[in-house]
Amino acid sequence: MTIKYRPIKEEEYPFLEEMLYEALFVPKGQPKFPKSIIQHPNIIKYVKAWNQQKGDLAIVAVNEQNLVGVIWGRKFQVDKKGYGFVDENTPEISIAIKDEYRNKGIGTGLLTQIEIEYSRMGVENVSLSVDKRNPARKLYERCGYELYNEQETAVTMIKKVK
């Protein structure tokens, strides 16, 4: 398996919506959310009108022409903040990898790629939100993300990239 990373192409924007659903954490033993949940305003704002806001950045992981994962980041305003909001200058990133490609180093590769690109753009920090029970939290900690804020079952993490 050879994974390549590259910026998302416009015709691949629907993949963001598909993977937004995959990024939603469901605790073990709980039923999955209905697919319609991504249309909720607090969720769809992570991908709606993609690449029309300054700072929108998405990188895909590709295996033999197949999209297998994606990481994307977006800046939010304080009155429309996301779950992992830190400030208006800090993009909040989201990541999703297809089930069969998880635990193969792709998440680490995607995180590294988006951190490099945001650093090139002059961004100082990136943030994310993760459920405390989500195994991906260990990945973020290994990659240098630190606790910024904690609320109920969710934590906001931050990493300096510049």
Residues of the chain predicted below pLDDT 50 = none
pLDDT in tens, 19-38: 999 999 999 899 999 999 99
pLDDT in tens, 89-101: 999 999 999 999 9
pTM metric for this prediction: 0.95
Query: Could you give the domains of the chain?
Result: 3-160 (3.40.630.30)
**Strands of 50-102, DSSP E:** 57-63, 66-74, 92-97
Distance CA(60)–CA(132), nearest Å, equals 25
Q: What is the model's pLDDT at position 1?
A: 83
